[in-house]
A and B are shown apart, each in its own frame.
Chain A
Amino acid sequence: MNRRTIHVLATTAAAALLLPGCTGTGGSTKGADAKAPDDPAKVSGSITVLTVRTDLVQDGTMKRYAAEFNKTYPKVKVEFQALTNYEAEIKIRMNTDDYGDVLLIPAVIKKNDYPKFFASLGTVAERGKKYRFTDFTTVDGKVYGQSPVGVMPGFVYNKRIWKEAGVTAWPTTPAAFLTALKAIKAKTDAVPYYTNFAAQWPLTSWTYVDGAVHCDPQATTKLAEGDPWAQGSDLRVGDTLLYDIVKQGLAEKDPTTSNWEESKPRTAKGEIATQWLGTWAIIQFQDAAKKAGVNPDDIGFMPFPAQTGGAYCATVGPDYNQAVNVHSKHKEAARAWIDWFTDKSGYDKDNLAISPLKDAAMPTVLKPYEEAGVKLIELDDSAGARVKLIDDRSEVGIFKPEYRQDLVDLARGAKKGSLDDFLSGLGKKWTETQASVGDR
């Protein structure tokens, strides 16, 4: 009997040890295509769409999109799964073939592995004519994902408060920006800047100053090749500004208990003056203003305070890219959903976002940008995969909250050390890893 138990134990252990060998992604389906259907009326099947927009699933907005979709594709049934903690959850699920039919390409998947996980949507030559951001998901000339909106980082601010403080023109340098915040602190009751430390991701978005500071489309390539925190580099300029804001007492009193949801109505009402977020946030702040019964037009948007050749600069990038699961049984239906959601759903307009279509007009919220002659650039993402690899290996985490939480703690005095040491420490970690990663 005992021997039998040991045998059972041994087999289970052996089976367990074999598992890592097959991490759930069969190579057999590698290189599948998700073709666009010819006849919308004939496409059928039930598809599961994974999304991060828990709010839209919760309030029925997604269902309404699906109903609209069904007018064109009557035989496709669309189900939604909203993941709260998307990256962590999807990573675990992608060890199996059970990760929905349509999903958002997670950051964890290495670019070169896209063909193993996703079905291609077409060649970069044909898609690049119509769509923006194709090279963010291109592997060997094929495109694997498409973002339904373009996003642009920038400061969401309360126009009324800035005016009350006597600042009418956008600051053109970090120093001028700090001066403006000081004026807000002196002349109004508002918190000049709100870090949203507790929600974590708003701090992470400070990495997206990269490219805007020096108006450089090759900013990502520079991250892969040099020290991101070298003197005068984009990230250093951004981090120094954030550090100075907190250090000079221009941010909220207790960042650790900041509250993202509360920050929206508070900004609308003028209790908070400024936050570094992105164009996607404007609609939410306007909604918060309507709910609080204040003027939604008080919500403004401004670029990073730096000018290159006398002009501001802003980077336009994709949000999460939608892709088709390579194991999906209804690839045509899944593809139909992505095409429809990108081209016809109006999701971009509903969110006042930049359209992913090259020939579409800019959203009206960006009118001030056009008037001010802000130059919009798209970053070249060919080195994006390498940057991610260096980032993970070095555990710096430029797209992770920890590094900026540390920065804010440093500025508040909750952590000891100087800014220079902190940034050069990051740079050292980064460049050492760079050397070890080589050209893989």
Chain B
Amino acid sequence: MTRRAVARTLVYLSLIGATLVVLLPLGVVVLTSLKTENETASGSGALTLPDDPLNFDNYVTAFRDGGMLTAFGNTAFILLVSVGGTVLIGSMTAYAIDRFTFRLRKLVIALFLVAALVPGVTTQVATFQIVHSLGMFDTRWAPIALYMGTDIVSIYIFLQFVRSIPISLDEAARLDGANAFTIYRKIIFPLLKPAIATVVIVKGIAVYNDFYIPFLYMPSQDLGVISTSLFRFKGPYAAHWETISAGAVLVILPTLIVFLALQKYIYNGFMRGATR
């Protein structure tokens, strides 16, 4: 074996090791979700295969009792509105920050940045009062407003892209008599397509996975979203590993599908965003 070959082997070994570390915990959950209540109650080992590998009862239980259908519906609605809003708001912010110099510009940037550093849990009581005074409590609008309100990530991604759009395009359009809004609508926004794809996915996944906000702001049974429905399995009196696992798999599955279908955009977005 040459030194090169050894190095290569080691590299592959490290990759396979990492793959195992990532997939093992998830794989076990899939296994558990296929077991019966008695199998888990009798302490069947984590890696033992289920007696019946096609036992989807837990999924039925999780889906039906967990109100997953409603949850998916609510999540879809919140996703659509808040992601749409985020795209508009993020791109407008990026455009304003990058293409204009104005007083307080630095302050505006700082405001968005500091917001990203605030641990949200700590301001909960005050936030709740504001949401309630706007009459949004226990409606789907509370999470939507909160998701759109502070999103430094999407602003950041848009900023990278706006910056890479040559300023000469704006200039040319302005000579043709276009005002700032037309430039934004006709030139910047269409050119942001790849960034929009990224933001939609990244923000979409963040919204889809968020737990604390819907947990707090939408207590009604019929306003459950994916995360809260999953968490409700773990009430003080109600939880079974096999059902929880099935619920977890149900929740992770759409993420996996979206990821496999759109990974190109996800990577590109991050990579373009990360570099300049």
Q: Direct A–B touching in the complex (beta carbon < 8 Å)?
A: yes
Q: How far is the CB of B165 from chain A (nearest CB, A)?
A: 26
**Residue among B65, B234, B235, B241 having the largest count of chain A Cβ atoms under 10 Å:** B235
Instruction: Choose one: B132, B219, B236, B241; the contact of A81 (CB below 8 Å).
Output: B219
Known contacts A57-B221, A261-B240; is A95 also within 8 Å of B125 by CB?
A: yes
Q: Contacts of B126 on A, CB cut-off 8 Å?
A: 16, 19
Q: Mark B98-119, 1 if CB is under 8 A from A, else 0.
A: 0000011000000000000000
A58 proximity list for chain B (CB < 8 A): 65, 232, 235, 238
Interface size on B, residues (CB 8 A): 32
Query: At the interface, is chain A mostly helix, strand, loop or mixed?
Result: helix
Task: Tell me if B181 is interfacial: C-beta within 8 Å of chain A.
Answer: no
* Complex Cα spacing A374 to B103, Å: 79
Interface code B78-109, partner A: CB below 8 Å = 1, 0 otherwise?
Answer: 00000000000000000000000001100000
Q: Looking across the interface, which residue of chain B has its beta carbon closest to that of A83? A: B219
User: Please, what's the 1-or-0 string for B157-185, where 1 marks a CB less than 8 Å from any CB in chain A?
Assistant: 00000000000000000000000000000
- The CA of A74 and the CA of B105, in the complex, are separated in Å by 62
Measured CA separation A95–B221 after assembly (Å): 21
Residues of chain A from 7 to 51 with CB closer than 8 A to chain B in the complex:
16, 19, 23-24
* A296 vs chain B, min Cβ distance (A): 15
A262 to chain B: which residues have CB within 8 Å? 40-41, 241
Which parts of A360-418 form the interface with B (CB within 8 Å)? none
Main secondary structure of the interface of B (DSSP, over half): helix
Partner of A92, one of B125, B220, B236: B125
Q: Mark B167-210, 1 if CB is under 8 A from A, else 0.
A: 00000000000000000000000000000000000000000000
A98 touches which of B138, B234, B239, B240 (Cβ 8 Å): B138
A291 engages B37 (CB within 8 Å) = yes
State A262–B241 Cα separation when bound (angstroms).
9
Q: A2-B103, A84-B235, A284-B237 are in contact. Are A96 and B132 (CB under 8 A)?
A: yes
Number of interface residues of A (CB under 8 A): 36
Tell me, in angstroms, the Cα distance from A258 to B219 when the chains sit together.
Answer: 28
Contacts of B133 in A (CB 8 A): 96
Cα-based distance from A57 to B126 in the complex (angstroms):
30
Rounded to whole Å, the gap between the CB of A281 and the closest CB of chain B is 10
- Cβ of A89 within 8 Å of any chain B Cβ, yes or no, is yes
Query: Is B128 an interface residue when CB atoms closer than 8 A count as contact?
Result: yes
Q: Kindly state whether residue A82 has any CB partner on chain B within 8 Å.
A: yes
Q: Is the CB of A53 within 8 A of B232?
A: no
Q: Which residue of B lies closest to A98 (CB)?
A: B137
- When the two chains form their complex, are residues B232 and A96 in contact, meaning their CB atoms are under 8 A apart? no
Does B141 make an interface contact (CB < 8 A)?
no
| Bound CA span A292–B37, Å | 9
Q: Are A24 and B129 CB-contacts (below 8 A) given A84-B235, A262-B41?
A: yes
- What is the CB-to-nearest-CB distance from B126 to chain A, in angstroms, rounded to a whole number? 7
**Chain A to chain B contacts (Cβ below 8 Å), 10 pairs:** A23-B129, A53-B237, A54-B238, A79-B221, A84-B234, A93-B128, A261-B240, A261-B241, A291-B37, A292-B41
Given A84-B236, A92-B216, A262-B241, 17 extra CB contacts under 8 A: A23-B129, A24-B132, A54-B232, A54-B237, A58-B232, A59-B65, A81-B219, A81-B221, A82-B221, A82-B235, A95-B125, A95-B132, A96-B128, A98-B138, A199-B236, A261-B241, A292-B38
Task: Enumerate the 9 nearest inter-chain pairs by beta-carbon distance, A residue then B residue, closest first.
Answer: A54-B235, A55-B238, A55-B237, A96-B132, A265-B41, A261-B239, A92-B128, A81-B219, A2-B103
